[in-house]
Structure 1
Amino acid sequence: METTETFDSLVRAEFHPQTSYLNTASNGLLPARAVAALHEAALMRAEGRPLLPLYEDVEICREQYARLAGVPATRVAAGASVAAHTGVLALSLPPGAEVLTAEEDFTSVLNPFHVRGDLKVRSVPLERIAESVRPGTALVAVSAVQSADGRLADLPAVREAARAHGARTYVDLSQCVGWLPVDASQYDFTATVSFKWLLGPHGAAFLTVPEDFGGLTPLLAGWVAAEAPWDSCYGPVTELAHSARRFDLTHALFTYAGLRGSLELLEEIGASAVHEHAVRLADRFRGGLTALGHEPVPAPGSAIVSVPGLGARQQELSRAGIEVSNRAGNLRAAFHLYNTETDVDRLLNALAG
């Protein structure tokens, strides 16, 4: 775990926001090292230099993310979006299979199951998802942290209920990995995007799968999914990768070039230090809201705070240099490693004024 001095010095060196940026649940800020890597990658393309180092960045990012997620790199696929990964899962299920989801979860976790048309998709309140697993449930699909309001799913309870009934688990980590220590090995499948709490550019997403691939078919596989990609550019792939790389999608090379530095920074600081910092600031904001007579959505232990009825103030706050989100009429603030007590107090003062 980093000392406070090291934490602060790393953050100051990497981030120079021009606003009180409290909107990581939408997009994370890019650290300076990621910006430099993106610039260098663009120059490589512009100048006609060999691009092999960019392909190497993909594999380094895979290893870095595997360490953050607590799984071997052989269980990590590098893709483009959570929706694409969800689609591969949806297509693997037999007709009539039941998928249990949380009401109003993020669309990318839900929609591919619905568009199949021949699956039984059942939605229940988040707090009831574990108790709602039943015989015949094939898959439980849920976000670890709800995008709309920051509520945390009781994932251990979901895992145990799924195991008791022979169901598989699919957890979207997009709103937690990067600030909340996670262990993806406890679930059959997990997915996350690169551009929120992982502080990377848009265009990358990771999928974790079991060692036996969990019955998935790599229907979106191209040449990068082959065991020997550079020997598999023409004709059908004759030998898929022996690892989760068989589920890779064509790599957004610039994205991985930038993401490498972002993941490196998160590893240098440590997930526990980021978690402690982000939740402390979120709790400070919750306390200040209570003093102002506002009641946030209950989400203990979350770095995301959602306040009913204040979403309409988002544009006003943005004009004042405070970036938050308006989600279903709620004001949503998200706290990450580059935020400070000054950011919290500035937002509270604006709401009070």
Structure 2
Amino acid sequence: MDGGFPGPQSGRMETTETFESLVRAEFTPKSTYLNTASNGLLPARTVAALHEAALLRAEGRPLTSLYEDVEACRAGYARLAGVPASRVAAGASVAAHSGVIAASLPAGAEVLTAEDDFTSVLNPFHVRGDLKVRAVPLERVAESVRPDTALVAISAAQSADGRIADLPALREAARAHGARTYVDFSQAAGWLPMDADAYDFTASVSFKWLLGPHGAAFLVVPEDFGGLTPVLAGWVAGEAPSNSCYGPVAELAHSARRFDLTHALFTFAGLRRSLDLIEELGVAAVHAHDVGLADRFRAGLADLGHQAVPAPGSAIVSVPGLGGRQPELSRAGIEVSDRAGNLRAAFHLFNTPADVDHLLDTLAG
């Protein structure tokens, strides 16, 4: 079978050759890496930026450029999310962002979630102890919103099996009942087009499909901050951070930066270059590439007599009953995940049809 890259159907790349040459210049995986839903690979430009950032510290040079990287990442993520940079907070984890949202809810408020969604989206609401957290099957979330629902919290794409939430239906149901919406795009940002402006709050980590290092996560809030209190605010949350190092912060940032957490500077130095790459390729082109490979795998599974969890349009494929073969596949140089007994393969821009065929051939034995 053809081992090259499938051509993007739309996006910023004008030719298949341009897409392929740019990707090949950035990635040199030593395995058939199909595990982006756990960790994305780092582009060469990102590795170089991390090295340079480390040298700044090692050699005692000023770190000014690293703080500039934070703001460049904020702006780059804002463009991907379709919102002004003033609405983007730069933090460290989705769990921390969820915690800020959870802290804003009144005692007794109902939070509607999807069953078995990722813990970072759910747990901060549970540990409050005085909220009513209700979980329903993913396909029933929209119909389960009711007048006393205060917030709907959900992942755009499920970590365990790649199923994509019906976000437009959820949004309309929430609006009809006066509920707010919180969407985690961690398994979607970078390959699935994102419209953060359609929801009250959205978040995403950077180390999966955005191809960045660990240690950064973004939160998008409304212009009026949506009633959130910056309960985790430190000096970087001040309008003038350099003047907010001692004592209480006298003036919080007038933008979403008031929800920033102390920045992992090396992470943002690398992430800036990863976001640049995603933007150069275009999310539409990455989407066409990733989903095309996932569909190729689904078709091949059917030929082998296996049925993937239904997740049309997803770059993540989960196969019931095959999770136990993960160690064997790893020994064969194929990196996938075992999630609750399911084999999970996640396809991203550095993968090729040859990767799909290698996995199928190995599964066929």
Deviation at 1:345, TM superposition (A): 0.1
Whole-angstrom CA distance in 2 between matches of 1:288 and 1:49: 53
The correspondence of residues 224-303 of structure 1 with structure 2, limited to 5 A, is: 224-303=236-315
Matching residue within 331, 340, 347 for 2:352: 340
Q: Which runs of 5+ in 2 are unaligned?
A: 1-11
Q: Does 1:73 align with 2:85?
A: yes
**3-state SS in 2 of match to 1:35:** helix
Using the size of structure 1 for normalisation, the TM-score is 1.00
TM-aligned CA deviation for residue 340 of structure 1? 0.1
Q: Following TM superposition, by how much is the alpha carbon of 1:125 offset from its aligned partner in structure 2, in angstroms?
A: 0.2
- Confirm or deny that 1:129 pairs with 2:145: no
Which letter maps to 1:348?
Answer: L
Deviations 1:229-277 (A, max 9, x none): 0111111001100000000000000000000000000000000000000
**Correspondence list, 1:45-194, <5 A:** 45-194=57-206
Instruction: Identify the residue that residue 227 of structure 2 maps to in structure 1.
Output: 215
TM-superposed deviation, 1:200: 0.2
Amino acid of the structure 2 residue aligned with 1:320 = A
Supply the AA of the counterpart residue of 2:281: I
After TM superposition, the structure 1 = structure 2 runs for residues 324-335 of structure 1, keeping only pairs within 5 Å, are: 324-335=336-347
Which of 3, 6, 21 aligns to 2:33? It is 21
TM-score (norm 2): 0.96
Tell me the equivalent position of 1:6: 18
1:40 to 41, 52, 57: 52
Letter in 2 for 1:343: D
Structure 1 unaligned segments of length 5 or more: list them.
Answer: none
Q: Helix, strand or coil: the match of 2:122?
A: helix
Q: Which consecutive segments of 4 or more residues in structure 1 shift more than 6 A?
A: none
Within 1, Cα distance between the matches of 2:115 and 2:193? 25
Give 2:254's aligned amino acid: H
Q: Quick one: distance in 1 between partners of 2:186 and 2:34?
A: 16
- Alpha-carbon distance between aligned partners in 1 of 2:328 and 2:350, rounded to the nearest angstrom: 22
Q: CA deviation at 1:186?
A: 0.3
CA deviation profile, 1:145-180 (whole Å, cap 9, x unmatched): 000000000000000000000000000000001011
Read off the aligned partner of 1:282 and give its amino acid letter: A
Pairwise CA distance, 1:106: 0.2
| Aligned position for 2:319 | 307
Where 1:313 maps in the other structure, the secondary structure is helix
Deviation at 1:206, TM superposition (A): 0.1
SS at match of 1:27: coil
In structure 2, what is the Cα distance between the partners aligned to 1:323 and 1:203?
Answer: 22
Return the letter of the residue paired with 1:169.
T
SS at 1:122 equivalent = strand
Q: Deviation of residue 69 (structure 1)? A: 0.6
Q: Residues 18-56 of structure 1: CA distance to partner in whole angstroms, max 9, x if unpaired?
A: 000000000000000000000000000000000010011
| Alpha-carbon distance, 1:123 to partner | 0.3
Check if 1:316 corresponds to 2:328.
Answer: yes
Aligned length: 353
1:305-353 residue CA offsets vs partner (Å, 9 max, x unmatched): 0000000000110010000000000000000000000000000000001
Q: Secondary structure at the match of 1:129?
A: helix
**Cα distance per residue 1:61-110 (max 9 Å; x no partner):** 00000000111000000000000000000000000000000000000000
Residue 203 (structure 1) aligned with residue 203 (structure 2): no
CA RMSD of the aligned region, Å?
0.4
- Partners of 1:5 and 1:271 lie apart in 2 by 17
The separation in 2 between residues aligned to 1:280 and 1:197, in whole angstroms, is: 16
Secondary structure class of the residue paired with 1:130: helix
Q: How far, CA to CA, are the matches of 1:136 and 1:47 in structure 2?
A: 57
The alpha-carbon deviation at position 220 of structure 1 amounts to: 0.2
Distance 1:169 1:277 in 2: 30
CA positional deviation for 1:209: 0.2
